[in-house]
Structure 1
Amino acid sequence: MFFLLTTTLLLLIPAVKPQGQVLKDTTSVRLISEGIERIYNMDFKEAEIVSAELADRYPGHPVCDLYRGMMIYWEEFPLTASSPGRAKYERILRGCIEKSEPGNYPNGEYSTEYLLANLSARGLLLLFYADNGLSNEVMPLASQTYRPLMRSMKLINECPDFYYFSGVYNYYRDAYPRVRPIYKTVAFLFPQGNMKKGIEQLELCSIKAMALKAEALSMLSWIKMHFETDYAGALPYSKELYERYPSNVLFKSMYIKNLLLLKKYDEAEHVIMGHSPSDTNSYYRAELMFFNGLLQEKKYRNRNAAKNYYKSAIEALVPFEAYGNEFTSYSYFGLSRLTEKDEEKQLKRIYRRKALDLTDFQKITFDD
């Protein structure tokens, strides 16, 4: 759900200069591709060089805003409601939306690329709001996004990358309100989706797309793991993402979690031990406390060590607010499993209730 930006960054080229000249600039395409790879691998020094060159080549173009928004998202990962970069992130992306609204771009000939910019900026904002439980921000923006989204679906035959948009819509329109009932009201504003068709479209995108393969892989991994609890089905996608972007702490943690859900403890531990510079990320370090706790519980049968790791994970995740709920929930499930004495039955129930209250996916408990 979190990589709509790349659509525009690669498909906006050929791009528009202020004079309206269409550029068929393979150098720029290569530049943007390399920049995205740097961002996904958390190499922000090199990514910043690309950002400066983009601003010089395409002053005032939405592609520059999208690239900056993507950099902020990953540099401050996870971007939370209280992150220092939040205001700048929102300002840049809302500015991108304004620049790419019909009537604000220089030539109707370029409406497709500006539509892509518009949708991508909206997607990044919706991602941030949804991940942080900011439903009051999600609902109005989602309803405003319907028309440009429907227009984009008419372009699906022009480029297989557009399968991503239609696939996400078809699946999430029906699946997301089931796990977050607060969004049922806004979902009724949109036509019915088709979850099976959505999966098929995302799979087509993961095979055929030029720009959105990583995004489709990520989405398929998330859907298989969380909505469908098909952990074996998720593994090829999460593994490919990790191998392609080994320094990306989100992709790395998704792969580790996938392995642990499959009880592949040795493989998960091997990945955990494979350090990269981005492993200093404070959120990833908090996730590691949970992962190590689960290994102590399930592989090494060291209950006390596992309890200590789970408690440390819960404490370390506090600064991340709603974004940290997922792994806080897993840690509470762990404490509940390890609290078995008769005199602690009430505490066991408290831990489990906290875990259930924090998670959207109540089948993922690591209990088995």
Structure 2
Amino acid sequence: MFVRVLMILSIWVAGLGAAVAQETAADSMIFVPSKYLLLDRGLQFRITKSINSMYNYDFPAAERDFAVLALQYPNHPLPEFLVALGYWWRIEVDVTNEKYDATFVKYLDRSISKAEVMYDEDETNKEAAFFLAAGYGFQSRLYSERRSWTKAAFAGKSALKYMNLSRGEEEFNPELLLGDALFNYFSEWIPENYPLMRPVMALFPKGNKALGLQQLEQVANNAFYTRVEAQYFLFRLYASEENEPYKALQISEYLHSKYPNNPYFHRSYARHLYTVGRWTESIQQSEEILERIDEKMTGYESNSGRYAAFYIAQYNERLGNRAEAKKHYLKTLSFGEESESQESGYYLYSLLQLGKIATDENNKPLAKKYFKEVKKYAKRKHPTHQEARDFIKKNKL
């Protein structure tokens, strides 16, 4: 429980400092001079295509443009931060993969160093504080994923400090609202779900989940820099916490249509289609995910394959097509082992279903093997553990 709460808090902190450029509004061609590069409308217009390339997993194209930006603004933290953000999205698709950690942290450190110089020269520089909050926020999130709690705590503390210092510039308000939204939501959600954390959360101002969701919607609709981050948090909250699957589907459908080569948005779209019962469409998306894995398309790997294969297996089992169901449950296991996700629900339920199929086929030794695997990887309180025990007892395996 403690680990999960720390991870939630670090995600909250990362959201406080998130800065992700997005598509300009209709009046984006009207360039209003700003003392801050981050708010330069001309720059926003010029980098929109680059940011879209990044979100669509065309990292080479995005990074070529970011390199030009670095030449134009060699002392500014924005170019390095954008490159770091591209590496974060490489990590996000499978957070267990540590391949990109060092490069991600390297670019964040560079961005932080340049922001510190700006801040030391002028402590009223809201843009410098904004980038320091963003850099430390993302570092905190990565360190929490790696269970480096001390590093996560120190980075998170720094992110919150600079987040507060970046307030007061009216033009930043739509972007900073993401932090307020996440604070309002999670500061109420955590004590509701983890009563032991109530004394800790009592040290923070009182939150309001309903207001947090409303603020996330505002950011998703109105912000320039934090729009996609807000949409990302919204569809996750609607799917897992708010029991609003159709709202989650609407957002993930938009993100997949906007960034069709982003594997995280792709698999989320397939998942939400399946959740609301649009199974045929979900299977079409899942089959496309598996094809892209076979083609070694950037970002499509075992973690996404685990999702897709499971949906196809379940669908075929519903249709009574046992051979295809079995084939794709086995694929789910293969992808799960490749990504070392044997404790995930998809992996455990695939083992369970394969055990049931083997029992129906009167292959008791194989069935017993699958059920023992469930008991090996599932926590005792997990539903699959209890079901496997009951099935072994009932069928005398």
- TM-score category by the smaller chain? 0.7 to 0.9
Inter-partner Cα distance in structure 2 for 1:316 and 1:295: 23
Residue 285 of structure 1 pairs with residue 305 of structure 2: yes
Hey, what does 1:364 align to over in structure 2?
Answer: none
Inter-partner Cα distance in structure 1 for 2:98 and 2:212: 33
- Aligned residues: CA RMSD: 3.8
Contact 2:118–2:128 (Cα < 8 Å) also in 1: no
Inter-partner Cα distance in structure 1 for 2:105 and 2:267: 26
Given candidates 349, 352, 373, the residue that maps to 1:336 is 352
Hey, what does 1:305 align to over in structure 2?
Answer: 327
| TM-score, L = length of structure 2 | 0.73
Aligned residue pair count: 347
Inter-partner Cα distance in structure 1 for 2:19 and 2:345: 33
Residue 72 of structure 1 pairs with residue 92 of structure 2: no
Range that drifts further, 340-349 or 194-203: 340-349
Contact 1:174–1:194 (Cα < 8 Å) also in 2: yes
Residue 31 of structure 1 pairs with residue 46 of structure 2: yes
Range that drifts further, 80-89 or 219-228: 80-89
Same amino acid, percent of matched pairs? 21
Hey, what does 2:19 align to over in structure 1?
Answer: 7
Query: Shift of the alpha carbon at 1:175?
Result: 2.8
Unpaired stretches in structure 1, ≥5 consecutive residues? 319-323, 360-368
Hey, what does 1:214 align to over in structure 2?
Answer: 228
Range that drifts further, 36-45 or 135-144: 135-144
Q: Deviations over 1:311-367 (max 9, x none)?
A: 22321222xxxxx578x33221332355345976896486278455899xxxxxxxx
Residue 194 of structure 1 pairs with residue 208 of structure 2: yes
Query: Shift of the alpha carbon at 1:227?
Result: 2.0
Inter-partner Cα distance in structure 2 for 1:347 and 1:208: 50
1:25-64 aligned at under 5 Å gives the runs: 26-64=41-79
Q: Deviations over 1:208-243 (max 9, x none)?
A: 223322221111100011122332231111111111
Contact 1:292–1:309 (Cα < 8 Å) also in 2: no
Contact 1:332–1:355 (Cα < 8 Å) also in 2: yes
Inter-partner Cα distance in structure 1 for 2:268 and 2:309: 15
Query: Shift of the alpha carbon at 1:72?
Result: 1.9
| TM-score, L = length of structure 1 | 0.78
Inter-partner Cα distance in structure 2 for 1:5 and 1:149: 7
Q: Deviations over 1:56-87 (max 9, x none)?
A: 01102111221120122234554656633312
Residue aligned with 2:19, SS: helix
Contact 1:330–1:355 (Cα < 8 Å) also in 2: no
Query: Shift of the alpha carbon at 1:128?
Result: 2.2
Given candidates 296, 299, 302, the residue that maps to 2:316 is 296
Inter-partner Cα distance in structure 2 for 1:74 and 1:125: 14
Inter-partner Cα distance in structure 1 for 2:370 and 2:34: 60
1:156–1:132 distance in 2 versus 1, CA, 3 Å: farther
Letter in 2 for 1:7: A
Hey, what does 1:123 align to over in structure 2?
Answer: 137
Query: Shift of the alpha carbon at 1:27?
Result: 4.2
Inter-partner Cα distance in structure 2 for 1:171 and 1:353: 36
Q: Deviations over 1:243-267 (max 9, x none)?
A: 1111100111111111122222101
1:290–1:279 distance in 2 versus 1, CA, 3 Å: farther
Hey, what does 2:338 align to over in structure 1?
Answer: 316
Inter-partner Cα distance in structure 2 for 1:358 and 1:135: 26
Q: Deviations over 1:15-41 (max 9, x none)?
A: 77xxxx979854422232221111000
Contact 2:216–2:234 (Cα < 8 Å) also in 1: yes
Hey, what does 2:154 align to over in structure 1?
Answer: 140
Inter-partner Cα distance in structure 2 for 1:137 and 1:120: 16
Query: Shift of the alpha carbon at 1:269?
Result: 1.4
Unpaired stretches in structure 2, ≥5 consecutive residues? 1-10, 25-31, 383-397
Inter-partner Cα distance in structure 2 for 1:347 and 1:184: 41
Inter-partner Cα distance in structure 2 for 1:22 and 1:154: 17
Inter-partner Cα distance in structure 1 for 2:190 and 2:372: 28
Residue aligned with 1:162, SS: helix
Residue 240 of structure 1 pairs with residue 269 of structure 2: no
